[in-house]
Amino acid sequence: MKKHGILNSDISAILSKLGHTDQIAIADCGLPIPDHVPKIDLALKLGQPSFVDVLHEVLEDMEVEKMIWAEEIKGKNTKLHNQMENKHQQIPFDYVSHEELKEACKNVKAVIRTGECTPYANAILQSGVIF
């Protein structure tokens, strides 16, 4: 049995296959996920697991060179936005419109769906390198 890191076998497999600049998304329970993109569904009920909890665990196990957020989070979910900016200052943030973020999700390696039910709680993580 695995001793450290993410225990979810689907997430662990996706992370181990990522190369430099590959992307995954972590999404709230309402983000539309294209049919051809693998969905790792962690949602149990509204709010669980939270976006923050899932993001934290993924960031512990993944080298991320930047995060891409919907511009709308700044005005529509300031609590989450401020929390993310304060906690993850070492990772650059890029912003696109929510429509552009949804379009970009067509090209990610996987979407991890959480139970989060606050607006614009979605981020695309771009893989960095560890050397």
Catalytic (active-site) positions: 20
The burial of 104, by beta-carbon neighbours within 10 Å (0-12 exposed, 13-18 middle, 19 or more buried), is given as middle
Per the CB < 8 A criterion, the answer to whether 123 and 70 are in contact is no
27 is in an annotated binding site: no
Length in residues, the chain: 131
70 is in an annotated binding site: no
Q: Give the C-alpha distances (Å, rounded to integers) separating 73 from 10, 35, 123.
A: 28, 25, 10
28 is in an annotated binding site: yes
121 is in an annotated binding site: yes
Q: Which residues are annotated as a binding site?
A: 28, 98, 120-122
Q: Which residues are annotated as a binding site for substrate?
A: 28, 98, 120-122
